[in-house]
A and B are shown apart, each in its own frame.
Chain A
Amino acid sequence: MDPAVWDIGYLIASILFILGLKKLGHPRTAPTGNLYGALGMLLAVVVTIAQMDFGVIDNFVLIAGGLLIGGLIGYVMAIRVQMTGMPEMVALFNGFGGAASALVAASEVFRRIEENTFPTDLELYVAWIAIGLSALVGWMTLTGSLLAMMKLKGGIELFGTWYRTPTWGPGWLNYVKGIFLVVIVALIYMSIEEPGNQDYVIGIIILSCILGILFVLPIGGADMPVVVSLLNSLSGIAAAFTGFIISNNVLIIAGSMVGAAGLILTNIMCKAMNRQLIDVLFKSFGGSDKEQVTRTKVGSDPEEVAMICDGISKCVIVPGYGMAVSQCQHQVREFADLLEANGCEVKYGIHPVAGRMPGHMNVLLAEANVPYEKLIEMDDINSEMGECDVAIVVGANDTVNPAARSNEGPLAGMPIINVDKARVVVMVKRSLSVGYAGVDNDLFYEDNTMMLFGDGKKMMTELVSSMKDL
């Protein structure tokens, strides 16, 4: 059989990827979309293995073993991860994908060097440029994603000590990044001139790793979703370059398509936060210089809040990252059930960037069996905020900060949920400290705001028992 026939298999895989990605964008078809993507991938792998010529039988065992080990690790990680850890997991997988592309590129170079056979002319240029770019993007994606993952967690534990992930980036760092990029391009050029010299390749790898860290280092935790999305786009591009190395169309199609779609998604996320992508990447924001809090506010206790909530007719719950951290979505649900039993209307106001990843809150609340139709998006809930008796903010800060309505400060212009329009605002929060954007929140100090200081789970549990005792 003509080996080109196998390419039909790749073509079908590509079509499945395209349909899958398209369907993933609509709520009703998303699960089918994911299935299509997985089927496409399975088909591509099967076609690849089917046309392989196994010189020694051990090879097959080795490859099957590699697939099995990777598949097992990936599957176990995917089913064991907590819903709150989802954003970090996506970042980590993304880094692995980028690294895989970069490793394939490195493998090609080292194989050529070991065998001492190099392509010539056009073929050399194409292969070496693709290898260089794949290495640049791939290694950048790996280190960038790892740093983004740590930033999402807020820090890392090493030898029993907790280290906060730093955010640091003076203006001149952008020039340093520029210089790194120029040097890497120069190294790619030199590696073409002297393809047998592995020092250039190693240089590209090291510099690309550092560049990935420099790229993410100045960006604050609040912007991490955008960064992860952009890195996701980059890992697609890396796969496309790998496609050029092995002249394989399915890699080129899937890779560049994901790269472009990832860029669009990044833009959509930026718009939800009312931010420009350029500002996110090159202007330091959030987390860097946290303001000292000097004002004080007397905290309330759960009994007080329970009494306020007794007999109200409309309540809006606004969750944030704090709910994810303390895992209190079940208590929140229980509280909502109690209110509803008393004839109160309960809705959830979901800010597009609440939590550390868009859709974070929807996933958590869905886990606690909150009906989908009670989760109201920001614009719709804002129009109802005026008739709301009590707004309960669970572990959110920046997304309800009225400072965003002014034209100054890092939050300027970000759309917020107008909880301050509610008759009473209850904020469940550990302290008066600033949020990720590093901006003090005037809302805390308003007369109609009640602060419940403490861990979300503990506070919500106490609130629920106080409600029952009434």
Chain B
Amino acid sequence: MELLSLIGAITIFILAIFLGFELITKVPATLHTPLMSGANAISGITVVGALIFSNTAFNNGNPGSAAWLAFFALILATINVVGGFAVTNRMLNMIAGKRRGK
């Protein structure tokens, strides 16, 4: 990573932190758990890193421990992502679904 792109990445990092602080303000207690669960699923974005590394590590001929670590990471991250969104959806359906029916 060159200096310029590093500074770019740090800029994005810091701005995104401020964005995160501003994004969540008043949340009703009902939504605490679904919000936590949804945010958790988004943090499963690390699946992108796992994908890239699974590919490069297996590409270099004989896969060693690095490749299997990346592959394991891929599975865990996918569980996090798919499970996270599915669970959030289930919770929200229960909360919001009833309200719509009133």
- A interface residues (Cβ-Cβ under 8 A, vs B): 17-18, 20-22, 24-28, 30-31, 33-34, 37-38, 40-41, 44-45, 48-49, 52-56, 58-59, 62-63, 66-67, 69-71, 73-75, 77-79, 81, 83, 86-87, 89-90, 93-94, 96-97, 99-101, 103-104, 106-111, 114-115, 122-123, 126-127, 225, 228-229, 232, 235-236, 238-240, 242-265, 268-269, 272, 350, 352, 357-360, 362-363, 366-367, 369-373, 375, 377
Query: CA separation between A338 and B88, bound complex, in Å?
Result: 33
CB atoms of B69 and A100 under 8 A apart: no
* A434 CB → nearest B CB, Å: 24
With contacts A75-B86, A93-B80 taken as known, whether A107 is within 8 angstroms of B36 at the C-beta atoms is no
Q: Which of B74-96 contact A (CB under 8 A)?
A: 74-96
- Report yes or no: A104 in contact with B9, Cβ–Cβ below 8 A: no
In the bound complex, do residue B41 and residue A363 qualify as a contact, i.e. CB atoms below 8 Å apart? no
Evaluate contact between A362 and B95: CB separation under 8 angstroms: yes
Inter-subunit contact B83/A256 (CB<8 Å): no
Closest Cβ–Cβ distance, residue A17 to chain B (whole Å): 5
Contact A66 B94 (CB under 8 A): no
Do A108 and B53 touch (CB < 8 A)?
yes
Taking CB atoms, residues of chain B closer than 8 Å to A256 are: 13-14, 16-17, 20
Q: How far is the CA of A290 from the CA of B54 in the complex (A)?
A: 49
Q: Which DSSP category, helix, strand, loop or mixed, fits chain B's interface?
A: helix
Which one of A17, A26, A93, A110 lies within 8 Å of B87 (CB-CB)? A93
**Which residues of chain A have C-beta atoms less than 8 A from B26's C-beta?**
25, 268
Residue of B70, B83, B85 ringed by the most chain A CB atoms within 10 A: B83
Q: B93's closest neighbor in chain A, by CB?
A: A31
| Cα(A96)–Cα(B90), bound, Å | 20
Q: Are B76 and A100 in contact (CB-based, < 8 A)?
A: yes
Question: Cβ of A93: which chain B residues have Cβ within 8 Å of it?
Answer: 37, 40-41, 44, 79-80, 83-84, 87
Between-chain CB contacts (< 8 Å), 23 pairs: A30-B34, A34-B85, A38-B85, A53-B55, A73-B79, A78-B86, A90-B33, A93-B41, A96-B79, A97-B40, A97-B76, A97-B80, A99-B73, A100-B46, A107-B57, A107-B69, A239-B45, A252-B13, A260-B18, A261-B23, A359-B33, A373-B102, A377-B29
Please, which residue of chain A has its CB at the minimum distance from the CB of B5? A247
Shortest C-beta distance, B54 to chain A (Å), equals 6
| 4 A-B pairs with the lowest CB-CB distances in the bound complex, closest first | A70-B78, A260-B20, A74-B83, A358-B32
Contact of B46 among A34, A59, A104 (CB under 8 A): A104
Q: Are B75 and A69 in contact (CB under 8 A)?
A: yes
A260: which of B16, B70, B99 is its contact (CB, 8 Å)? B16
A123, B13: Cβ atoms under 8 Å? no
Chain A residue nearest to B60 in the complex (CB) = A115
Inter-chain CA distance A86–B86, complex, in Å, is: 12
Q: What residues of chain B have their CB less than 8 Å away from a CB belonging to chain A?
A: 1-3, 5-6, 9, 12-14, 16-21, 23-60, 64-67, 69-99, 102
**Interface pair B74/A63, CB less than 8 Å apart:** yes
Contact call A265/B86, Cβ cutoff below 8 A: no
Report the separation of the CA atoms of residues A26 and B34 in the bound assembly, to the nearest whole angstrom: 11
A69 to B85, CA, bound (A): 16
A residues in contact with B13, CB < 8 Å: 240, 243-244, 252, 256
B102 near A79: Cβ-Cβ < 8 Å: no
Please give, as numbers and ranges, the residues of chain B lying within 8 Å of A257 by CB-CB distance. 16-17, 19-20, 23, 42
CB <8 Å contact, B1 and A127: yes
Known: A27-B99, A48-B48. A71 touches B23 (CB 8 A): no
Which residues of B lie under 8 Å from residue A247 when comparing CB positions? Answer: 1, 5, 9
**Contact across chains for B98 and A372 when beta carbons are under 8 A apart:** yes
Do A100 and B77 touch (CB < 8 A)? yes
- In the bound assembly, the distance between CA atoms of A93 and B95 in angstroms comes to 21
Provide the bound-state CA to CA distance between A18 and B39, in Å: 10
Selected from B14, B46, B52, the residue in CB contact (under 8 A) with A255 is: B46
The answer to whether B1 and A27 touch across the interface, beta carbons within 8 angstroms, is no
- Chain A neighbourhood of B18, CB < 8 A: 260
CB distance from A57 to the nearest CB of B (A): 11
* Complex-state Cα separation, A254 to B37, whole angstroms: 14
- Using known A-B contacts A41-B81, A77-B79, determine if residue A122 contacts B46 with beta carbons closer than 8 Å: no
Cβ distance A265 to chain B, nearest Cβ, rounded Å: 6
In the assembled complex, the Cα of A232 lies from the Cα of B91 at a distance in Å of 18
A182 → chain B closest CB, angstroms: 24
Q: In the complex, are the beta carbons of A249 and B9 less than 8 A apart?
A: yes
> Closest approach, in angstroms, between the C-beta of A366 and any C-beta of chain B?
4
Establish whether residues A251 and B24, one from each chain, have CB atoms under 8 Å apart when the complex forms: no
B4: shortest Cβ distance to chain A, in Å?
11
Given A235-B40, A257-B16, A363-B91: 18 more A-B contacts, CB < 8 Å = A34-B88, A41-B81, A45-B47, A63-B51, A74-B80, A74-B81, A77-B83, A89-B83, A103-B73, A111-B56, A111-B60, A236-B42, A246-B52, A256-B13, A257-B23, A257-B42, A359-B31, A366-B97
Nearest Cβ in chain A — how far from B46, in angstroms? 4
Q: In the complex, are the beta carbons of B51 and A25 less than 8 A apart?
A: no
Q: Are A45 and B48 in contact (CB under 8 A)?
A: yes
In the bound assembly, the distance between CA atoms of A77 and B75 in angstroms comes to 14
Q: How far is the CA of A94 from the CA of B16 in the complex (A)?
A: 20
